[in-house]
Amino acid sequence: MSGGTTATVAVARPVSATPSNESATPPIHSAAAKLQVPGGGVKMQRQSSAPRDPKLPNMPNLVEYKNMRFLIFDAPSDRNIDLYIKEMEKHGVTDVVRVCEPTYDKQILENKGIHVHDWPFTDGDPPPSNIVGEWLHLVESRFGSFSKDGKGAVKDAGNKAIGVHCVAGLGRAPILVAMALIEGGMQPLDSVIHVRNARRGAINAKQLKFVENYKRRAKDKACIIQ
């Protein structure tokens, strides 16, 4: 190589495979690069890399209807719970309903003033009647009592929201939100569409059948579970 040759940098680009159902993470670049210098010499040069803000692979999704606001997300862990807390605080989450087995210490949220309700039920199934009652009681306590005429809750909740999550945020959590929308006056199938518009892929076939047959508690004085 002659003395007037311009130095070029060759950087290794590692290839990593990510599951099709997960968001791709930023590629990891080698911290060192081979630098060719005039005269044919090669030396190692340390690359400078600015720290990147960590991001969640699956962002929480906000579902709004009338004065009700729900934040649906997948299960946090002790390692990334701080990222979820940022999203919760951004959306004014006051309560988190956890319908799966614990994957993080709930005291972390309690210390932030976010109350955690543990109401787990079987993955892929609709919720049992006792959890339906607990859930709707919480919704009414935060957003106001459901009216018989289907006009929904009347309490001014401001910019507050209820967070709800299962493992993937696609089954158990969305079905609870759909039920609250129905109690608020939305038609059953419309509630599923509304939730899916916010959370793509939510609610499986078995759960959809449950929603189709769900009767408003405010209308019939009781939740009819079929």
Confidence at residue 48, expressed as pLDDT on a 0 to 100 scale: 40
> What is the count of structural domains for the chain?
2
Does 164 lie in the same domain as 86?
A: yes
- Amino acid identity for residue 76 in this structure: P
Could you say which of 118, 166, 190, 220 is catalytic? 166
DSSP state of 215: B
Q: Is 78 a catalytic residue?
A: no
Contacts of 127 (CB under 8 A, 6+ apart): 99, 119, 121, 135, 172, 175, 176, 179
Can you give the pTM of this predicted structure? 0.71
Confidence at residue 158, expressed as pLDDT on a 0 to 100 scale: 75
Please report, in tens digits, the pLDDT of each residue of the chain (226 residues total): 444 444 444 444 444 443 433 333 333 233 333 434 455 554 444 444 444 456 888 999 999 999 999 999 999 999 999 999 999 999 999 999 999 999 999 999 999 999 999 999 999 899 999 999 999 999 999 999 886 555 555 556 678 999 999 999 999 999 999 999 999 999 999 999 999 999 999 999 999 999 999 999 865 443 333 3
Q: Specify if 121 maps to a domain.
A: yes
Instruction: Please name the helix (run of DSSP H) or strand (run of DSSP E) that holds residue 175, with its range, or none.
Output: helix 172-183
Confidence at residue 27, expressed as pLDDT on a 0 to 100 scale: 38
Confidence at residue 155, expressed as pLDDT on a 0 to 100 scale: 58
Does 36 lie in the same domain as 100?
A: no
- Distance in Å from the first CA to the final CA of the chain: 80
Does 134 lie in the same domain as 210?
A: yes
Confidence at residue 56, expressed as pLDDT on a 0 to 100 scale: 87
Q: Specify if 31 maps to a domain.
A: yes
Confidence at residue 55, expressed as pLDDT on a 0 to 100 scale: 82
Q: Specify if 150 maps to a domain.
A: yes
Does 75 lie in the same domain as 8?
A: no
Q: Is 100 a catalytic residue?
A: no
Matching residue, tokens 């007037």:
4
Q: Which domain does 38 fall in, by range?
A: 1-15+23-50
Looking up residue 178, the CATH number of its domain turns out to be 3.90.190.10
Q: Specify if 225 maps to a domain.
A: no
Could you say which of 78, 123, 125, 220 is catalytic? 123
CA distances from 186 to 12, 147, 216 (A): 54, 12, 10
Confidence at residue 159, expressed as pLDDT on a 0 to 100 scale: 87
Does 90 lie in the same domain as 33?
A: no
Confidence at residue 71, expressed as pLDDT on a 0 to 100 scale: 99
Confidence at residue 149, expressed as pLDDT on a 0 to 100 scale: 55
